[in-house]
Every structure is written in C-alpha cells, then in structure tokens.
Structure 1
C-alpha cells in the first residue's frame, strides 16, 4: 500500500492577521431543588432486608465550578457541581442493631455494590446504622461546626461528600439496599496467568484497571486485567541485575520504571522500560544512593514528564527526572539527611506549577521537601514534631495522616503543623523493611486506610481516626489497596498476584417470630408479655412498616396471610397458628372464655 492512499489531517495554525473571538462555553444549569425532602414526612421502620428511597435532611451549599485548560490545540472545559448531603432512609426496628449499606442507586442507576466490589468513580460516602456510639459526621462538622451538628443516632443514614451532580442536572433520588446483620466475607482470587512465574513487584494503574508486574522467574514484564483477574500478555525482560525495587507505571509516558543493582549496596540505578515490548529504553548514569535503597518510593506524573523520589537506609534522599526516552538522577542529598537517624516513609503532596512537595517521616518529624518539576532540590521544612517516631503517612486534602511507632494515628494540618486528632489504633505499622502496605502513592485511598493484622482487616477513617474491623483476613505479603473499588492486590510468592475483596452478604432469611417479637417490644411490650404457640416456622426476608399504625394493628395485618391468630390471654399477647380443614382457616384452640381475640 502506498503512502498516497492515506489522508493526513493537520491542525491549521494562524499567524497574525487579526484575532478570533474566543468561544465561551455555556455552563450547564443545575437545579438545586431537592426531590425527596418534606417536613412531616413519615420515616419507615425496617427489619431484616429492605430497599427504599432516602429523604434529604441536610445539604451544604452546592458550588458549580467551571475550569478550562489547553490540550494541544483544543481548549477543554470542565464543569462540576459537587454536593455534600445527609440522606435518611429509615429507622431500625431493633435499636443498636448492625446494618450494612449493600447497594446504592442514584436516579435508578447503580453507583455502589458492596456484594461485587463496585463503586462509581469519585463516589465518597459514609453509611451510619444509628447505634448509640455513633459519632458526628466529619463532613457536616467541617461545614457547620461541631457544636451545630448532632450524631443523628437511631436512624439509617448516609452522608455523601462532593457528589458531582452536573451530569444529572439536579440532586438525584437516592435509593439503597440495607441488610441487617449482613455477613461480610474476604474473597481471594488468584490471577489467571499465561505461563508459570513469580511476579515479585506490582505496579497497579487503578484508573485504567491494569496491573503491571515484574516477573522474577523468569525475568519478564507482565500485564494483567484487574477486573478480570487475568493476564493479558507477558514479554521477556532480560537485565543483568539481582536487586530490584520501586516498580512504577507512568501513565502519561506509557513507561515502566524501577530501580536495579547487582548487590543493592551503592550500585542501584533507575531503569526506564517500554511495557509492550519489555525493551530497556534508558538507564541512569548516576547511582541512586551510596547505600541500600529502601522499599518505599513516590512518583508524580507531570503529564509529559515525571519525578521519582526515594531514600536509603543511610537516610539519603534521591530523585530522578524522567521523560519517555530519558531517566537521570536529578538530586541526591548527603547521608543522614537533616541529621536524621531513621527515615521510614515518603508520600507525594501538592503540585504547584513547577514545584512538587514530598513528605517524609523522619524520626519524630514530618518533613516537607520541595523539588522543582525537573526533580532538583528547592527547600525542606519541618512542619511538625511529634512525641513518637513516625512510620507511615498519606496525603489527604492538604493534610497529612500519619501513623506512629506507638500504635496511634494523627491528622496533621499540612500548613500549620497542628495536630487535628490523635487516635489509638488496634494495629502497629511495622518499619519500612518489614511492613506489608506498599508505598502510599500506590494506594488509592477513599476515606479509609486499610491494614490487615492477625486475621483481621482494619479500616481507619482518614478524617476522624476511627477504626472499624472485619475478621477473616489472611494477607501475609505486600499489598496495594484501592478504596475506590474496595480491593487489594497482593504479591503471591507462589505464582500470579491475588486480588482480595471484602464482599457484603445478601443477608439471611429470618424467622417471622423474631420480627413479631421485635415489633411488639418496640411498641412497649415486655418480652415476658409476648408468647408464641403452635408451629410458627415461617421465614421472611425483611419488613418495612409504617409506624403511624399501632403495633397490634401491624401484627394482625402481618399474621393474617399466615393464618396466625393474635389474641390476649392473662395479660399476654399470644400468637398462635390456626388449624385448617383444607378449605377454611379456623382456630379451634382459642378458649371461649379468657382469650380476647384481636378483631379487624
């Protein structure tokens, strides 16, 4: 085929000769009328399992923001209208019972499914089951002030944060499926591989759903689908080295980068790799450090270039600047940077034009190191000094959440260094050489930090420091967690990587007698004043009831289809299975005297 058979469309560039009027895009209109909110609206009472709509009970001001930026020759306009709101679904029939929000819908579209590990991109929410220990919601507190916010105990609520409604045109109608005492399980899936081998280093690209892996035996570059837990392809990658660390994928460059050396002591260089072919494109001339590189690094993608930062066991900080074809060391500090004896973690922070912040856990100090977009050193600042040494840190909306060697977590203001909270956690993050969580920049956290320990999965809220737990975890190697999908990718020394998900159960069916017992007790009857006679073994999924009716009226309407009689005897409410003759339901066992039947 000849070149003349193609047509090339080139951009037209005008030089001088007048100006053109810029086109200002129209900002989409957003209606702020709430669809399901009314004073005096009846709040349903629920038991077991239910799916029902929510009522808006609090909404922060909705701010519409339009921004533009230039990509090549096009001006791209982005408009967002983010809403934070508290939504009320129901009141549990059984006080202090445990409930799980299993599915969430917005205008009929599924945006969260805890049974399948699905969460719409950007969705942030906190579900509350109304127990007596329930705290105030941090989103509401930040907006209204702590003294003006209650804990809203006793209700099944949800608070959504920064929910973008621009595509919906107005605040949507939310529906949710709630499960009482729903069992959660740890689901482990081993990736299907094209060939045997041990993938020692993982580099997830969460946004594209692709996992890159560095295969040690044999040496190879592997590519997997995270969603399908299947290997796409594998290419050979022969390199004369025996020490490897800090594996990353750079999306804007479509390149893989890692550190490699023969001994790992003073001879570690950075390598740039083409992921489709496994070809080594470039390697750095200067070594990363004079000592041993620690297995914790941070990379910032600058959309056309990138900066890669790490540190060594002699507390030496280094940085590499890379493009699609080059990678060179751009900075190396002296040993014992800042006079520190132990650096444990580095996490990327704010990007401001041509400046990049990287945060280090150094002894008891939280240190901000600012580099240029070329990876050269600009400044370092001690933002906070704590009483305990630091182990791990993540950057969250301008603040730093840090874990110490005293099993505590603290949130530190990234500007002032003020400690916003200190909480004890039921786990201890290990030193950099022995811990399971991968580097902070490889975790995609949404509201919570995940940490497995002693058979339990712990989830620490980044805004409050409160930790919840789910038993049954068996993670025993390095992992990377995605809060968007609720799954972790785990290094498997026996073969292909492993995906771990915590799935919400669909709830168990319940005895009808349990519902009737809870119903009558909610109406003021003592358990000793309720009795069941006969073979009442009916099973139900759940119940949604209207509390404007009396509990005896509700009980009678529920029991009628089951041929269960409701009557009073000696100050007790009796539920008794009626006898049947095949054509007519009767109750020949109700006494002619002393038994008072509830009549319609």
Structure 2
C-alpha cells in the first residue's frame, strides 16, 4: 500500500492558484414604479409614503481596478440619479421636511438621529411657489428642458450606488409638515479637566483627536459615544501649535509647532497611541506666522501638508510612510504670486503622481499643482472675481467659493466660469478670526455649515441657497460632518461637544385644523366653514384620495368621531 505525499501530510509545496472571484451580477435597470397614470395622494400633517419614479437618466455600471499593496482590487458601481415623487401637500406653500428615507424598507437617512447612508446625496423639495429647478436635472437635461416641479413633495437623488441592491429600489419617505428642528448639544464625558485647544476628527473611524496645549496632552474621544477613552503625554519644548491633523495613511498625527511662533514653526509627526514625537522637520514652514488653515492630502506612499502664512508664503511638508520622516518639500517667496492676502487653502483632485490645491488669494482662485512628494509643479489662476475670496471647497470637480461681500459662487473647475452667484445671510470671517474649520476638516455632502449671530446656516453647494435654523450656535472653533450631520466644537470650558440639528416628529394636530384646510382646498371660503361645540380630537396626519369630493372625504373623516356634518 502506498501513499502520495501531499500538503495534507505535511510534505510538499501546495499548488497555489488565484482565488475565484464571483462575477458582479448585472444591475437591472427596470424601475419598480412609474408615475404615469397614477393618482398622487394629497397629504396633511405627517405621513410615510412610497415614491414614484418620474425621471431617471441612464444608469451606467462602471468596473474599475486599482492596486493596494500587492493586491489588485476590483470595484463596480452603478450610480443612479432620479427624481422621486411622493404626494401633493393639502395646504399650498406649506413647509415640509423629509425626516426619514428608506430604500427597499431599509433606512438610508434619518434626520431624527443624524444618520445618512454613506454616499447618499439628495435634495428634498416641498413644492413651494419659489422652488427652483433642480441642478442635477439641469446638468443632465439642460436648463430649458427642466421645470421646477412646484406643488409636489419630491426628492432628487444624485449618484446613488445601487450595485448592492441589484436594481433601482422602492423608496419610501416620512414627511413632516411644519416640523420644528432644534439644536441638540451633547457634551463629551472627559477623564480629566483641561481645555482642548485643537481638534482633528477622523470621520471615517468616528474618532476625535484633541490636543491640550496646557499640559501637553493628546486626548482620544469617541464621536459616537461622546466619551474620552484615554490621554497620552505629548510634552516637548515648543509653545505654539497649529494645523492639527490626523493622517489615515500614516496613522499619525501631524501638526506645526514653534517656540516663538514666528519663523520657527516646524512639522511634527506624533504617534497617536503613545503621544511620542516620531519625527520633526529640520526646516521651518515659513519666515512668518503660520495661519491655522491647511490642507492635508494623503498620497501614495505618504502624506503632504500644505499651508500658508501671514506674509503670504505657501509651503508644503512631505511625510514618508516608508522612512517615518517628515521634511519641508516646498516654500515659496513672501507674497506668493504678488498677492497681498491669502485667506484659505482647500484640497482638490489627487492624480497618482500629483495633486491640486486651491488658494483664495485676493480676488483670484488659484490652482497650485504639487507632486506626490509635495514639490511645486505649477500654478494657474482659475477665476478672477469682483470681490476678494474668503473660503472655498472642492465639490465634484468644481469650486464653491465665499467672498467678502457675503456671496457664494460656484466656479467650473475646468473653464473657470461662474455657474451661479447667490447672496448668503452671513459673512465668513478672515482666516485670523473665523471659527469655521479648514475645508479639509469638513466631510461635506450637500451643504456647508456656518454658525453666526445665534443662527445655524446650511448653504447648498449645488444651488447656493441657504436654509437657517435659529438657536444657540458654536462660539469656538467647529468642524462639520455632512455624512452624519454632526458639528464638533468645544464649550466655554474647552470640553468637546457634539451638536446635531434634530428634526422632531411633527406632534399632534387638531382634527378641526385638518377639516378647515380640507374644505378650503376644495374651494370653500374660510367664512363658509364653521365648527359648533367642543371638538378637541387630535390626529397625526392624513393621506387623502383625491378621486373623491371634499364633502365625501370630510364626511368619512367625521363619522368615526361621531361628528355630524351638514350644509346650510
């Protein structure tokens, strides 16, 4: 009897083969519902309704590959944009809020707890008479081919990946009429007293790093739990700190530090778990004072930190993941490009061996291209505006900029053309005085958050329109996560706190208010409608079949409440 030697017996070399990867299933593009021929319900108060698809451009399935270390990663996306219609409001020009959104029964957005599925971008419309055309539809169909679709409760979803769903899903939404939104503050539970001076959120991991300058501590917080987990010593002989960031590529904290704060700020790499200084650059960032506004860009093999200073020098530092060192790779002359005032830097596209950053310099939006090592390659003026620029964010290849004249503009990143100009009810301050965090610290989806004058403002990046919510707002530096609609700031004692804008459930409404609105919608004048006796019944809301007359609807509503209805 003989045996073949093999790996099961501990001998031999196994025959290696590539793993079998199943093919990505084809995405079905057949829509589950259509608005054609359907009767839309009319709604009042609060409701949860399925949507009808009324516009969907072609759905493109894209498969791409990239290399991570020694593995080739294949990913497939099928991004769908669409306009979804839910209902028509009973009360014309009433204000509605979409509180929850579901896809195939699973919640993908919940404003009551600040949840949004990763990658979900949408704009909700409540059909008021001032409603504009949707920019996603305009970009696809052209301005003259798109109406404003006023009078309906709609949402427009942009680039929603349906690969995991296999087909366009059935959407449902919960709508609230005149729903109130409130500021909800939650203080982080801390292990010890002490002012947290600098904030560095890692939104993906749900972690907040804070540096306590007095006491020289690196403090670790959970954003979701609002809890400090531990603190580590970060003592070394420097006094001034700025541009505090966390690099996911390096798993290091990066910041600038100086002894006197002018002309001596060097770059520092810190181990976030131990607080130990792993590396310090030999060269200073600038000959002047560093502004606390920078752009951290993760590139292949390392991280680049780009910033600017009070004498309008721009600079960059490259941190090498292989060597663990960080050194200055570029420093311009003072008054870079002849500019008298630089206010902001924001990261743009990363392209393998190079990447772009954009500077707000006087009235110019300037694109600077750097290599993946942080060395200077070129600079180009993308646009010159009538007013000086204060702040800019990069959004889908375009730039959205705020000026010193309380306006916001969207600038085409290729042509430099201004796509819209809107007045905003706030003014972003200069870099030395603003509490709004740097653009690279924000994780933006649809809107930029700004706080001022006791009010929270949300400016839509696609339209420039601003919504506002009155109430207490941050008085210290803050950063915004559009994915979870969370603001991180500190209170007056330097303790981190989380701010969320919470939508309520709409509460109860008087039955008589609904009947009044119903009869008025049916053409009756207010003085033709009267209620006798005490009717104090409450309802959540109503979904109405408009194929019946308002008299029949009102009668069917009144009968279960033992309310008599008659006409004189």
> Do the structures match in fold with TM over 0.5?
yes
In the aligned structure 2, how far is the partner of 1:22 from the partner of 1:421? 51
Mapping of residues 32-43 of structure 1, within 5 Å: 32-43=29-40
SS of the aligned residue for 1:513 comes to helix
Q: Which has the larger radius of gyration?
A: 1
Contact 1:330 1:374 in 2 (8 A): yes
Q: Which portions of structure 1, spanning 4 or more consecutive aligned residues, are displaced by more than 3 angstroms?
A: 11-14, 20-25
Which among 124, 138, 141 is matched to residue 138 of structure 2? 141
Is residue 2:278 matched to residue 1:289? no
SS of the aligned residue for 1:335 comes to coil
Structure 2 match to 1:379: 378
Is residue 2:267 matched to residue 1:270? yes
Q: Kindly tell me: are residues 563 and 493 of structure 1, through their superposed partners in 2, closer, same or farther at Cα, counting changes over 3 Å?
A: closer
Structure 2 match to 1:332: 331
Tell me the C-alpha RMSD between the 2 structures.
1.6
Deviation at 1:71, TM superposition (A): 2.0
Select between 31-40 and 86-95 the one with higher mean Cα deviation.
Answer: 31-40
Q: Aligned pair count?
A: 554
> So what's the TM-score if we normalise by structure 2?
0.95
Mapping of residues 285-364 of structure 1, within 5 Å: 285-324=282-321, 325-364=324-363
Structure 1 match to 2:527: 528
Structure 2 match to 1:499: 498
Structure 2 match to 1:575: none
In the aligned structure 1, how far is the partner of 2:186 from the partner of 2:21? 49
SS of the aligned residue for 2:285 comes to coil
Structure 2 match to 1:408: 407
Contact 1:100 1:178 in 2 (8 A): yes
Is residue 2:155 matched to residue 1:178? no
Which among 77, 90, 99 is matched to residue 74 of structure 2? 77
Deviation at 1:348, TM superposition (A): 0.7
Which among 93, 103, 108 is matched to residue 105 of structure 2? 108
In the aligned structure 2, how far is the partner of 1:13 from the partner of 1:217? 60
Structure 2 match to 1:202: 199
Structure 2 match to 1:118: 115
SS of the aligned residue for 1:438 comes to coil
Mapping of residues 184-263 of structure 1, within 5 Å: 184-263=181-260
SS of the aligned residue for 2:565 comes to strand
In the aligned structure 2, how far is the partner of 1:149 from the partner of 1:57? 12
Deviation at 1:323, TM superposition (A): 2.2
In the aligned structure 2, how far is the partner of 1:156 from the partner of 1:275? 47
SS of the aligned residue for 1:345 comes to strand
Is residue 2:474 matched to residue 1:449? no
Deviation at 1:351, TM superposition (A): 1.1
SS of the aligned residue for 2:554 comes to helix
Which among 30, 39, 44 is matched to residue 47 of structure 1? 44
Deviation string, structure 1 residues 63-107 (Cα, Å, up to 9, x no partner): 101111222332211111010000011111101000110011111
In the aligned structure 1, how far is the partner of 2:241 from the partner of 2:490? 15
Deviation at 1:12, TM superposition (A): 10
Q: Kindly tell me: are residues 123 and 12 of structure 1, through their superposed partners in 2, closer, same or farther at Cα, counting changes over 3 Å?
A: farther
Contact 1:201 1:491 in 2 (8 A): no
In the aligned structure 1, how far is the partner of 2:123 from the partner of 2:385? 30
Is residue 2:520 matched to residue 1:538? no
Contact 2:239 2:257 in 1 (8 A): yes
In the aligned structure 1, how far is the partner of 2:197 from the partner of 2:362? 29
Is residue 2:485 matched to residue 1:486? yes
Deviation at 1:13, TM superposition (A): 12
SS of the aligned residue for 1:172 comes to coil
Unaligned runs of 5+ residues in structure 2 are 1-12
Unaligned runs of 5+ residues in structure 1 are 1-10, 15-19, 570-600
Which among 153, 165, 168 is matched to residue 168 of structure 1? 165
> So what's the TM-score if we normalise by structure 1?
0.90
SS of the aligned residue for 1:516 comes to helix
Structure 1 match to 2:517: 518
In the aligned structure 1, how far is the partner of 2:355 from the partner of 2:375? 10
